[in-house]
Amino acid sequence: MIMKRLRSRSKLHRRVAGLLALAVALIGAGALYSLVLPAPQTAQANQPDSVAVQQGRQIYNTTCISCHGKNLEGVDGRGPSLVGIGEAAVYFQTETGRMPAVQQGAQMDEKPRVLTPDEIEKLMAFIQSQGGGPTMPEERGEELRGTDPARGGELFRLNCASCHNFTGRGGALSSGKFAPELDGSTEDEIYAAMLSGPESMPRFSERQLTPEEKKDIIAYVKSVTDGNNNPGGNPIGGLGPQSEGLIAFIVGMAALLGITLWIGAKH
């Protein structure tokens, strides 16, 4: 009998131990799972977001729908489909005032922002919920400036300078279109433009140009625009040796001529 009790107790023991072990294993697996699994990259329509998404839909219905269609499918002859363009594209187009557009055209020009930052946030959430796409980085503003502007310059000259000029002065494209100058562009706008490829610009995904490379490019752009690359007092168009050489020649020649006349004068 003692033996039996002992046995049953050990049986109970074993059961409890087994249950405990199972619980530990489950919790461990869960913890491991949450550790190993990366956080979702895109902010899909989560519960807290859905309010923003709904408000974003309302903004869409009042400002974008006539050209981009009821379901973002685009309207023939008016505007392209917005499915899958991602929040980065929305941010760039609305933040720089290119959207909402005033009229149809080959190229939308930058103009004062129409939507408020709050409206833009909501619209971004809505468009992002409709087919995903490139998202904005978590950092904002000056955090987006990299630490290696020299390397950023290399990458800028390789990928961007053919259209935007090597110090971001912009340049001509086909049929009257043009690449804008980069003066006054914020870090966020430059990042969003690289990600989303607005208008004629190609897109540069995070795998093609890593976030670190994009930030270095921004650091370079910021170091040569907004009057930061202007030691002579006037950039003379920033076009490089032609304009600089011409000015140096004309001004320098005039100065030399003046000095020669002064040296040769009798008194």
Q: Which amino acid appears at position 186 of this protein?
A: T
Distance in Å, CB of 214 to another protein, minimum: 12
d(C-alpha 259, C-alpha 267), whole Å: 13
Angstrom CA distances, 54 to 70, 98, 252, stand at 14, 23, 64
Taking the least distance from each CB to another protein, the nearer of 189 and 216 is 216
Of the ranges 3-11, 48-56, 122-130, 196-204, which one interacts with another protein (CB under 8 A)? 196-204
Among 34, 47, 103, 174, binds another protein (CB under 8 A): 174
Task: Report which residue type is found at 135.
Answer: T
Nearest CB to another protein, comparing residues 4 and 207: 207
Binding to another protein by residue 262, rule CB under 8 A? yes
Half-sphere exposure of 124 (CA within 13 A, CB side): 23
User: By CB under 8 A, which span of 5-13, 39-47, 156-164, 246-254 interacts with another protein?
Assistant: 156-164
x-marked contacts with another protein along 132-151 as a string, rule CB under 8 A: --x-------x--x--xxxx
Closest to 82 measured CA to CA, from 97, 101, 56, 64 = 64
Instruction: Say how many Å lie between the first and final Cα of the chain, rounded.
Output: 136
DSSP class per residue in 59-89: HHHHHTHHHH-TTS--BTTTB---TT-HHHH
What torsion do the CA atoms of 235, 240, 179, 85 make, to the nearest 10 degrees? -90
* 113 interacts with another protein by CB under 8 A: no
User: How far is 32 from 93, CA to CA, in rounded Å?
Assistant: 41
Stretch binding another protein (CB under 8 A), from 57-65, 90-98, 203-211, 241-249: 203-211
158 binds another protein (CB under 8 A): yes
Mask: binding to another protein, 38-67, rule CB under 8 A, as x and -?
------------------------------
Nearest to 88 by CA among 145, 45, 127, 139: 127
Looking at residue 20, its amino acid is L
For position 207 contacting another protein by CB under 8 A, the verdict is yes
> For another protein, which is the closer residue by CB, 56 or 149?
149
213 binds another protein (CB under 8 A): yes
Show Cβ contacts of residue 41 under 8 Å, excluding neighbours closer than 6 positions. 135
Contact with another protein (CB under 8 A) among 43, 83, 101, 173: 173
> With respect to another protein, which residue has the nearer C-beta, 70 or 266?
266
Closest CA to 146 of 95, 187, 180, 92: 187
# binding residues, another protein (CB under 8 A): 42
**Which of 54/159 has CB closer to another protein?**
159
Q: Please confirm whether the linkage preceding 100 is cis (ω < 30° from 0).
A: yes
- Smallest separation, CB 130 to another protein (Å): 17
E strands, 117-214, in order: 171-172, 178-179
The binding site for another protein (CB under 8 A) comprises 134, 142, 145, 148-152, 154-155, 158-159, 162-163, 171, 173-175, 177, 197, 199-205, 207-208, 213, 216, 219, 222-223, 226, 228, 231-232, 262-263, 266-267
